[in-house]
Structure 1
């Protein structure tokens, strides 16, 4: 089971996404006449995640088939895989606070910082004014009624935010929680139940002096930081076959597979 953001809100697909993924980082290598090896490496890696199902009826697979056939449009779409839901649904560049993936009017880059557990975060944000959101507003799909946990390493007290949007991306009220770390740059977190009319969320922070390593999971509590397992891409390469047919009952059960192919250039 995994989620995909569509023009009508969050769509739940009754399939399993594999915990493994193929990761490719493009590179170009050449050796000069002087014997010097040079290599140009792409700024980021791109993933391909297998999707599979077993003993499903065509009706149960209807939404998946619609997605593959382009009924929801050409995409790309925001996917929340099984692994992402229990680690971090943020995109890797959102989870790592890369430029262009947070609200620049509310925060500035803070550089590397040592966290309370002694580990080193390569990037951090200094919160200046207002709410610093991670990612593009209203692009992260969520199931109404589900549980969502937002966490980050923080210095000083502040407020964890969750901007909420209806299926048509009409803005609702923010879910908020005031928190403070036990010591500087220790983790803080908050968990909410998603209102029944909400299909999209955007995490944010305000009031802290500094934050690093944000995470969002669909769990009932914090699970620790993850580099981000969210994917923007398309579903392609479907291979399906009849597992068994029951013509007298008008039923057919299918098994098959497809792939979520990540798109993007940065």
Structure 2
């Protein structure tokens, strides 16, 4: 019994000595001392890097169809499952393209009127929209029919056309309100039979970027099949520079963020 006690005392002493040695080494910098919080941060950072590397690999699988200036369409990809997974983890501050809206037609009308621009009634009446009220009503109807938030499509059109004043490669007679198909260097982009068809094409193009859900109406967007589905579920991601996969509607910096800021001003009733 006495011998066993001595052995236990010796073992305890050796263990204590080992602990003291390790602590001393840690203080001297020979052994890295990692706190539990630092471990968690390192783990999270590893996951983030892994996610980024995976995203970069997936980007190389996209087939680019052209050098569009105002459209970031990519090759056929109907699944969009990878981007939907990313979307789930996105910040709540992001503005969804799809969903119900509490913005009214009158708010849309008021937003245009506050811009100080004159509604081009003569040009758009031939396409079925003789007033800004009718124009906004069509946007509301077609966007709602496809499940797209009306204010998103409408404000995007205001940004793309300079509040229906145009001046770029596309002309107002094309009823193309979002630069679909424009590639720069004078290429005018797509044309549509009337205002409603042009608006629906834009709405369907937005839906293609936002979700994998099928269209509710007959497809009038000739470029629908080229969009990588669900690549931009949020307005902010419509800009290629801000999109996690580098795809999107337009190449301009902060393109989607500019639209969100305009929506905010419309909601607040402030100047454009």
TM bin (shorter chain): under 0.3
Name whichever structure is richer in strand by fraction.
1
Which has the larger Rg?
2
Name whichever structure is richer in helix by fraction.
2
Give the TM-score, by structure 2 length: 0.25
Give the TM-score, by structure 1 length: 0.25
